[in-house]
Amino acid sequence: MRIAFHAAADREAEEVADYYDRQLPGLGAEFYHELGTMLDLLIRSLFALGATKRDLARAIAVSKPTREGHAKAA
Beta bridge partners of 62: 3
The answer to whether residue 45 is domain-embedded is yes
Range of the domain at 39: 12-59
pLDDT digits 0-9 by tens, 18-60: 999 999 999 999 998 999 898 888 878 887 888 777 766 666 5
7 against 33, higher pLDDT: 33
Residue whose C-alpha is closest to residue 1's, from 49, 53, 52, 42: 53
The DSSP call for residue 27 is: H
The answer to whether residue 46 is domain-embedded is yes
Type and span of the H or E element at 15 = helix 7-23
71 against 46, higher pLDDT: 46
The answer to whether residue 53 is domain-embedded is yes
pTM of the predicted model as reported, rounded to 2 decimal places: 0.62
The answer to whether residue 22 is domain-embedded is yes
- pLDDT for residue 6 is more than 80: no
Distance between CA 19 and CA 5 in Å, rounded?
19
Say if residue 32 is exposed, middle or buried (CB neighbours under 10 Å; 0-12, 13-18, 19+): buried
The answer to whether residue 74 is domain-embedded is no
The answer to whether residue 34 is domain-embedded is yes
Tally of structural domains, the chain: 1
